[in-house]
Amino acid sequence: GQNIDQPTEMTATEGAIVQINCTYQTSGFNGLFWYQQHAGEAPTFLSYNVLDGLEEKGRFSSFLSRSKGYSYLLLKELQMKDSASYLCAVRDSNYQLIWGAGTKLIIKP
Amino acid sequence: IAGITQAPTSQILAAGRRMTLRCTQDMRHNAMYWYRQDLGLGLRLIHYSNTAGTTGKGEVPDGYSVSRANTDDFPLTLASAVPSQTSVYFCASSAEAGGNNEQFFGPGTRLTVL
């Protein structure tokens, strides 16, 4: 079967750095996405990886290792507004997105 | 309209009733999707459409139907609602189905079936 694993919840301090991990087992791989979802709102796109390595976008970076079925999202200089759920999704061989349950990130002052 | 819209925002529905959730996008995206999101579970794909005139089944299609008569609209119909269909429903669209095309999400419809 297809499976995306992420930690359920993480806590970090304002101004710090946090890494959210995602491991996947899917039928085929055609890219990995990270989305942010604030409570009661729709998911919004953060990053896309299809090749191994690090993609940096401001305070957010995403890493992919296809051989290990592993990705992480790195958030630097955490702000209170970063409190949200972070969703990992893999595009499978049918070009459909398979979604993890999300990681709820709590930022403390 | 800017982006993707959904209606209604929320709805309470008696079991057995028929309900259509509306979704409209003005980005001229070819691909559209319907997901449901339940607590503790990831988004699950119900139905999708890679281009106007075509539709496909996702992971959890039973009890739902869709149509794609034109590029902009992608309604989702529950023929006879059941309590297990209580969920938050998100419509999404992307320029194309593959590549690095991100999906843009509507604001969601919160549906309660009693």
The reported pLDDT for the residue numbered B40 is 86
The reported pLDDT for the residue numbered B1 is 53
The reported pLDDT for the residue numbered A72 is 98
Q: Tell me, yes or no, if A96 comes closer than 8 A to chain B by beta carbon.
A: yes
Give the total residue count for chain B. 114
Question: Is there a contact between A48 and B100 if contact means CB atoms under 8 Å apart?
Answer: yes
> Closest Cα of chain A to B87: distance in Å?
12
Contact (CB, 8 A) for B34 and B49: no
pLDDT digits (tens, 9 = 90+) for A67-107: 999 999 999 999 999 999 999 999 998 888 999 999 999 99
> What is the distance between the alpha carbons of residues A30 and B71, in angstroms, rounded to a whole number?
25
pLDDT digits (tens, 9 = 90+) for B11-39: 999 999 999 999 999 999 999 999 999 99
pLDDT digits (tens, 9 = 90+) for A41-58: 999 999 999 999 999 999
Question: Is there a contact between A95 and B102 if contact means CB atoms under 8 Å apart?
Answer: no
Residue A80, SS3 per DSSP: helix
Residue A59: pLDDT band (50, 70, 90) is very high
Cα angle value A12/A16/A20 (rounded, 5°) = 55
- Which of A42, A91, A100 comes nearest B105 by C-beta? A42
Q: Tell me, yes or no, if A7 comes closer than 8 A to chain B by beta carbon.
A: no
Question: Is there a contact between A95 and B103 if contact means CB atoms under 8 Å apart?
Answer: no
pLDDT digits (tens, 9 = 90+) for B53-96: 999 999 999 999 999 999 999 999 999 999 999 999 999 999 98
Would you tell me which residues 12-71 of chain B have a C-beta closer than 8 angstroms to some C-beta of chain A? 35, 40-45, 48, 58-59
C-alpha pair distances (Å), B106 with each of A67, B3, B88: 34, 8, 11
Peptide bond preceding A7 in cis form (omega within 30 of 0): no
Q: Tell me, yes or no, if A52 comes closer than 8 A to chain B by beta carbon.
A: no
Q: Tell me, yes or no, if A97 comes closer than 8 A to chain B by beta carbon.
A: yes
